[in-house]
Amino acid sequence: MSTFAFEHPRDGVLREGARGRTSRPKTTGWWGMVWLCATEAMLFASFLGAYFFLRGNIDAFAAEGGRYVPLTLPAIMTVVLLSSSATAWWAERGIERGDSVRLRIGLGVTMLLGLAFLSLQAVEYSHRDSSWTTSAYDSLFITITGFHGAHVAAGLLMNAYVQLRAWLGHFDDEHHAAVSNVLLYWHFVDGVWVLLFAVLYLSPRLF
């Protein structure tokens, strides 16, 4: 080691090298998460494509798919999930400033809101008068919302993982890539819900 004592090529030097860049460069992990979200988005697009294909072509499906579904509970769920995106954002901004307490509180509240969403989804399922084997519409409705629920659950597991690490003091203003990646996924899952809400709940009232 001692034969050539050059300055270690750690982040500082390299970031200077990046032309005129002031904000922190995205990590490769963040880029990986972006593409994971892209492929997941296509999964939900395929589900919704199936919905529109069946609604557009199959009369029996259209009769059910075009039926009004109660909006109150899903509207509350939407508000809950969107608020959790806000708290997640608040938590991430906290750790960017080195405030790990704010990170922990923000992650905790986000998690509670996610759990609330899942509980409300369970309530909604219990109010349905049909099972997923009743008709193709029920199969598709339960599969789409169920897959979304599973994604929320996965997001909660990730949240639990970064929370644990937050409590162990793994993160500071410079090192919190895991938080950014997990919360990116969380925002994505919330965004998908808005789309599902628009298609499954609102679109029958529009066309």
CB of 72 to another protein, least distance (A): 26
N-to-C CA span, the chain:
71
CB of 79 to another protein, least distance (A): 28
Binding to another protein by CB under 8 A, coded x per residue (else -) over 18-57, reads xx-----x--xx-xx--xx-xxx-xx-xxx-xx--xx--x
Contact assessment for residue 29 and residue 181, using Cβ atoms and an 8 Å cutoff: yes
Query: Is 97 among the residues that bind another protein (CB under 8 A)?
Result: no
**Cα–Cα distance measured from residue 162 to residue 20, given in angstroms and rounded to the nearest whole number:** 32
Query: Is 111 among the residues that bind another protein (CB under 8 A)?
Result: no
Q: Which member of 174, 194, 198, 205 binds another protein (CB under 8 A)?
A: 174
How many other C-beta atoms are found inside a 10 Å radius of the C-beta of residue 173?
Answer: 13
Q: Please name which of 24, 10, 204, 170 lies closest in space to residue 96, comparing C-alpha atoms.
A: 24
Query: Is 135 among the residues that bind another protein (CB under 8 A)?
Result: yes
CB of 76 to another protein, least distance (A): 28
- Counting other chains too, the contacts that 52-60 makes at CB distance below 8 Å and 24 or more residues apart are 52/199, 54/136, 54/137, 54/140, 58/136, 60/135, 60/136
Binding to another protein by CB under 8 A, coded x per residue (else -) over 176-195, reads --x-----------------
Contact assessment for residue 117 and residue 155, using Cβ atoms and an 8 Å cutoff: no
**Cα–Cα distance measured from residue 151 to residue 53, given in angstroms and rounded to the nearest whole number:** 24
Binding to another protein by CB under 8 A, coded x per residue (else -) over 51-70, reads --xx--xx-xx-xx------
> Residues interacting with another protein, by CB under 8 A?
3-11, 13-19, 25, 28-29, 31-32, 35-36, 38-40, 42-43, 45-47, 49-50, 53-54, 57-58, 60-61, 63-64, 132-140, 143, 157, 161, 165, 168-172, 174-175, 178
